[in-house]
Amino acid sequence: MADNYNNNSNNFEKTMREYLKQARKRLDSEFAGTREAIKLVATDKMRNFMQAMDKGLNKEERDYLSSLITEGMYQSFCYGYGVGKIEGAHRKKVYL
- The Cα 48–Cα 62 span in angstroms is 11
Contacts of 82 (CB under 8 A, 6+ apart): 16, 19, 20, 22, 23
pLDDT tens column, 16-34: 999 999 999 999 899 989 9
Nearest CA to 27 out of 89, 75, 65 is that of 75
The pTM for the full model equals 0.76
User: Which pLDDT score is estimated for 19?
Assistant: 93
Contacts of 35 (CB under 8 A, 6+ apart): 27, 28, 74
User: Which pLDDT score is estimated for 21?
Assistant: 95
More confidently predicted of 8 and 55: 55
User: Which pLDDT score is estimated for 12?
Assistant: 82
Q: How far is CA 64 from the centre of its chain?
A: 17
